[in-house]
Amino acid sequence: MATGSLTVSARGGSLTILSPAKLNRFLHIVGRRPDGFHLLQTVFEIIDWYDHLTVEATTDGRVERIDGPQDIGPDQDLCVRAAKRLQRLAPDRGCRIRLAKSIPQGAGLGGGSGNAAMVLRTLNELWGLNLDATALADIGTQLGADVPVFVRGVSAWAEGIGERLTPLPFTSRRYLVVIPGISTPTAPMFAHPDLPRSTAPMTIAAYLSGAPTQNDFETLACRLYPGIAEARMFLSPLGPTRLTGSGSALFVENPPAHVNAFMAGAPLNWQWKVCNSMQIPFDSVYGLPPELRAS
């Protein structure tokens, strides 16, 4: 699917949208800033594994989460934080947020970052702010390094802490994405002393020409979480596997036609899905009926 549409349904002052996941096609850690943040190079690719997000605009100045993950309090929820951050530009506006999760948490698929970005994009429309992609992505950077790529909605080369994006030509790809019954918290993975932090930087041209890449978290993740190593071994007959983000999800690009039959033999606690690369260009959320725009 080359281009996705954010809008699932719309009525009155609310929108129900699809909030996608992402893969890191590779992830190199090339250094560290003085403040401790890691410098990386990666390629983000958006995939069609979705959460469902409903955002209702209100005029009472309150940001409320009506439904969402039970293990994440409203104050820590990136959706709520995104709405409150954007609300600084429209203090009299409010919203109610409902989130139905499908993308597993702690898997390196960026579900929470995608949710935050989709709240920004949707409220930008419903509140009539008309911020451009750059302005909205700058707000997203304050919420998390993965948020801007979802704001812009296209495959991208990323540098810095992940916020410096260069759009890449869209390529239609098919993936098997597998979460092997494990969650890997991001912060401890970045803090681990054995994480490689000196991979040589590469250029976009080198990547596009097929230069070798890797995920610098993968060896560490396999050592700390044997289930990830076991999943890599299980999936190896399908082709090369790679970790996304800091884990725990693994993916196989262009899996063979018998992938569904093969995965029938996977452990019951694994989650898996055959996904397609996609893009949701920033302006695809525009063109909504006039009654959906805040006055």
* 295 lies in some domain: no
Q: Looking at the predicted structure, is the pLDDT value of residue 29 above 60?
A: yes
Distance CA 225, CA 247 (A): 10
128: left (phi over 0), alpha (psi -120 to 50) or beta: left
Catalytic residue among 77, 146, 216, 273: 146
pLDDT (tens digit, 9 = 90+) per residue, 216-241?
A: 999 999 999 999 999 999 999 999 99
Length of the chain: 295
Structural domain contains residue 120: yes
* 84 is a catalytic site residue: no
Here the tokens at position 176 are 């098997």
On whether residue 180 sits in a domain, the answer given is yes
Range of the domain at 11: 1-288
**Beta bridge partners of residue 271, listed in sequence order:** 179
Integer Cα distance of 166 and 83 in angstroms: 26
294 within domain boundaries: no
Contact call for residues 100 and 120 (beta carbons, < 8 A): no
Does residue 263 lie in a domain region? Answer: yes
In the prediction, which pLDDT does 3 show? 56
Residue pLDDT, tens place only, 199-215 = 999 999 999 999 999 99
Structure confidence by residue, pLDDT tens digits, 97-133 = 999 999 999 999 999 999 999 999 999 989 989 899 9
Amino acid present at 8: V
Predicted pLDDT of residue 72: 83
pLDDT one-digit tens code per residue, 132-170 = 999 999 999 999 989 999 999 999 999 999 889 999 999
Single-letter code of the amino acid located at 186: T
Q: Using CA atoms, how far apart are residues 142 and 148, in angstroms rounded to an integer?
A: 9
Alpha helices in the chain (DSSP H): 78-87, 111-126, 133-141, 147-152, 186-191, 204-208, 218-224, 226-235, 259-263
Q: Is residue 71 annotated as part of the catalytic site, yes or no?
A: no
Number of compact structural domains in the chain: 1
Residue 293 falls within a domain, yes or no? no
Q: Can you give the CATH number for the domain in which 189 is found?
A: 3.30.230.10
